[in-house]
Amino acid sequence: MTTGRPVRVALLGCGAIAQAHLRAIAANPGLIEVAGLYDADRGRADARAAEYGIGHVYESWQAVLDGDADVVAVLLPHDLHARFAVEALAAGHHVVVEKPLATTLAECDAILEAAAKAGKRAHPVHNRIYDPGTDAAREFIQSGAIGEPFLAQTVGLEPPQTVSVRPWLGTKAGGGGVLMAQAVHPAYLLRWILGDITEATSISGARKVLDMTSEDTAIAIYRFKAGPIAEMTGTFGLNVGPWDHRVTFYGPDGYVEIGSRHGVRGLSEKRFGDREIHPLLPDLEWGTGFARMWADYAHGFRDGTPTRVSGADGRAAVEMILAAYESAQTRRTVDVPLRS
Ligand SMILES: NC(=O)c1ccc[n+]([C@@H]2O[C@H](COP(=O)([O-])OP(=O)(O)OC[C@H]3O[C@@H](n4cnc5c(N)ncnc54)[C@H](O)[C@@H]3O)[C@@H](O)[C@H]2O)c1
């Protein structure tokens, strides 16, 4: 690809999350542009094209494969990620695949192998790694403000509407429940800060709020190679908002919390000279991470530069979730890496 030309992206799937990607691409003029949209529901693709001023809607998936887009963004129900990503890679396109990268390790490996064979890149959408709040928390930790983190906790409180607006998520097409669909975000965030895990333990809630195939509420506990432990709680059962997402890292000298309602806050006597909780970054703009992610990936596609997040990171996040499922099913602590 010639340096300087915008990276051209075909969007596959024009549902809810396509809007975040369209806005993120529009926030990077000259670097990325939309080649066209495709959705099995043609009306939905046409509506999105009109809404975002996109000039091209593909007639078929084959037309996307045969087209001149550099990248295909796979924004589909989870059980379709691997099939479409592999086809796009085999046809010579890079891929950016919404989270989770795929629903099994075999599917993740098929994507990574197709990318290696085609000499193309496959990235998962781990957008929260690109949030300014994540950078603020990571820098706080790396500065030594809280000492070496030894414990982390994450909470994801969402309503049943998360599932009801995308009914496939309540079926086998979700590849799991709240852990696969929601907690994969805090899972990759924990790994970004604390490194790889060595074991997982998990239970799922038996008092279900939603009528869905998999769990609507779960707790997973992880041990990290470097020593820390973490607890991750997620639910789709909270009817009454406001809802919340929080990730907190604790060290001997304080803590730092990334929260969707309060921004990033930290306590560190070393840093602040007191024992109060201080705001580090008050305003968290949810969409910013998508724009920064696309910029990083586009430079990688165009200039061959390394990126913050790779396909292997997508696989590792899926493995964290699958290890939790194996634990819940077997009622045992499960060693990681999993035997795939
Ligand atoms: N990163 C985030 O914060 C975030 C937030 C929400 C959703 N997501 C992820 O985005 C992905 C899509 O979720 P969504 O909320 O947009 O779902 P959605 O149900 O709103 O949209 C899915 C779209 O895919 C289309 N589709 C289904 N099968 C197709 C096929 N065979 N060919 C072409 N189009 C097909 C549907 O018509 C629909 O428009 C999922 O992986 C989900 O987990 C990520």
DSSP conformation letters of 158-203: --THHHHTSGGGGSGGGSSSHIIIIIHHHHHHHHHHH--EEEEEEE
Q: Whose CA is nearest to atom 31 of ligand 1?
A: 40
Q: Determine the distance separating the centroid of ligand 1 and the alpha carbon of 13, expressed in angstroms.
A: 6
- How many whole angstroms separate alpha carbon 299 and alpha carbon 302? 5
Sign of CA dihedral 160, 244, 318, 125: positive
Output the ligand 1 site: residues, CB below 6 A: 13-18, 39-41, 44, 75-78, 80, 98-99, 125, 127, 166, 181
Domains of the chain (ranges, CATH numbers): 7-125 (3.40.50.720), 128-289+319-335 (3.30.360.10)
Contact between 267 and 278 (Cβ < 8 Å): yes
pLDDT of residue 4: 85
Residue 281 tokens, joined: 């970054």
- How many whole angstroms separate alpha carbon 204 and alpha carbon 58? 41
pLDDT of residue 237: 97
- How many whole angstroms separate alpha carbon 223 and alpha carbon 180? 19
Mutate to test the pocket of ligand 1, among 12, 41, 98, 126 (most ligand atoms within 8 A of CB): 98
pTM of structure = 0.97
Q: Determine the distance separating the centroid of ligand 1 and the alpha carbon of 74, expressed in angstroms.
A: 8
Give residue-wise pLDDT tens across range 256-272: 999 988 899 999 999 99
Position in ligand 1 atom list of the atom nearest CA 41: 37
- 324: buried, middle or exposed (CB in 10 Å: 19+, 13-18, 0-12)? buried
Position in ligand 1 atom list of the atom nearest CA 18: 16
- How many whole angstroms separate alpha carbon 322 and alpha carbon 169? 17
Q: Which amino acid is it at 46?
A: D
Q: Determine the distance separating the centroid of ligand 1 and the alpha carbon of 102, expressed in angstroms.
A: 13
- How many whole angstroms separate alpha carbon 80 and alpha carbon 88? 12
b/e burial code for range 301-317 (CB count within 10 A of at least 16 → b): bbeeeebebbbebbbbb
Position in ligand 1 atom list of the atom nearest CA 290: 1
Nearest CA among 233, 225, 219 for reference residue 337: 225
Beta sheet of 263-268, edge-to-edge order: 278-281, 263-268, 254-259, 244-251, 151-157, 229-235, 217-224, 197-204, 334-335
Helix (H, G, I), strand (E, B) or coil at 22: helix
Residue 38, CA distances (Å) to 29, 57, 62, 85, 92 in order: 21, 6, 10, 14, 18
Q: Determine the distance separating the centroid of ligand 1 and the alpha carbon of 75, expressed in angstroms.
A: 5
Q: Determine the distance separating the centroid of ligand 1 and the alpha carbon of 79, expressed in angstroms.
A: 11
Q: Determine the distance separating the centroid of ligand 1 and the alpha carbon of 10, expressed in angstroms.
A: 14
Q: Whose CA is nearest to atom 18 of ligand 1?
A: 15
Place of tokens 């409180």: 157
- How many whole angstroms separate alpha carbon 179 and alpha carbon 212? 13
Q: Which amino acid is it at 114?
A: A
- How many whole angstroms separate alpha carbon 332 and alpha carbon 162? 30
Place of tokens 């705001």: 279
Give residue-wise pLDDT tens across range 73-132: 999 999 999 999 999 999 999 999 999 999 999 999 999 999 999 999 999 999 999 999
80: DSSP letter: G
pLDDT of residue 216: 98
pLDDT of residue 2: 43
- How many whole angstroms separate alpha carbon 138 and alpha carbon 124? 21
Q: Determine the distance separating the centroid of ligand 1 and the alpha carbon of 161, expressed in angstroms.
A: 15
Residue 113 tokens, joined: 């192998």
- How many whole angstroms separate alpha carbon 55 and alpha carbon 280? 42
Residue 271, CA distances (Å) to 112, 151, 175, 249, 277 in order: 42, 20, 43, 16, 11
pLDDT of residue 1: 46
pLDDT of residue 340: 67
Position in ligand 1 atom list of the atom nearest CA 99: 41
Residues in the chain where the model's pLDDT stays below 50:
1-2
Q: Determine the distance separating the centroid of ligand 1 and the alpha carbon of 84, expressed in angstroms.
A: 13
